A and B are shown apart, each in its own frame.
Chain A
Amino acid sequence: GQQLNQSPQSMFIQEGEDVSMNCTSSSIFNTWLWYKQDPGEGPVLLIALYKAGELTSNGRLTAQFGITRKDSFLNISASIPSDVGIYFCAGHGNAGNMLTFGGGTRLMVKP
């Protein structure tokens, strides 16, 4: 089945620093999604990417859909304490409406 490799698994950074995380896949996806999950809550959609090469921003967040359609990255600029949480990438392919999730990147921000 399809698998997504997400890295890094965890990051501990200083407030104000920029953050970068990425996902790679062995299969092509038609859509890439980035979610943030806070403890005890469900994932919240941050950014959705629908075309290869697409670069989309949402405030301090920027994500790109890789040209090969097998990867995506998420950047967070000028991190703040409320950025703490687990970030998941998810890919949507041709097989029905199934989303395949990466293993998550746990972000910790030191004030």
Chain B
Amino acid sequence: EAGVAQSPRYKIIEKRQSVAFWCNPISGHATLYWYQQILGQGPKLLIQFQNNGVVDDSQLPKDRFSAERLKGVDSTLKIQPAKLEDSAVYLCASSPWTRGDTQYFGPGTRLTVL
């Protein structure tokens, strides 16, 4: 069974530029999550989707971050404009409908903002 796929794996941009990340969850997983992991810390949830609806985006900085999951499968996370403090690894995870407590992570996208 294929795992969670993410791209790109690495991205370097200058502050005030825009960037987008892509995630393809495990087939059949209804729930998709985006996490931000700052160096030396555990992942922090940004947004959670159930199919194509947002369940929790309370920790998403909505002035600059946006995410969508239009067809209930793939998802994109966008940052516009980026700030230096956005430098982090952005992780996507997915879980089955019935086991939201068991999440499987992708390899992440390492973002460096200069």
Contact = CB atoms under 8 A, between A and B. Distances in A.
B55 to A, nearest CB: 6
Sort chain B's interface into a size bin: 20 to 34
A98 B44 CA distance: 9
B14 to A, nearest CB: 23
Interface in A58-111: 88, 90, 92, 96-99, 101-104
Contacts of B91: 42-43
A56 to B, nearest CB: 13
B101 A102 contact: no
Interface residues of A, number: 25
Nearest to A30: B101
Interface of B: 4, 6, 31, 33, 40-45, 48, 55-56, 91, 93, 95, 100-108, 110
Given A99-B45, A99-B103, 15 more contacts: A30-B101, A33-B103, A41-B108, A42-B4, A42-B91, A42-B108, A44-B105, A45-B104, A96-B55, A96-B56, A97-B31, A97-B56, A97-B95, A97-B101, A98-B45
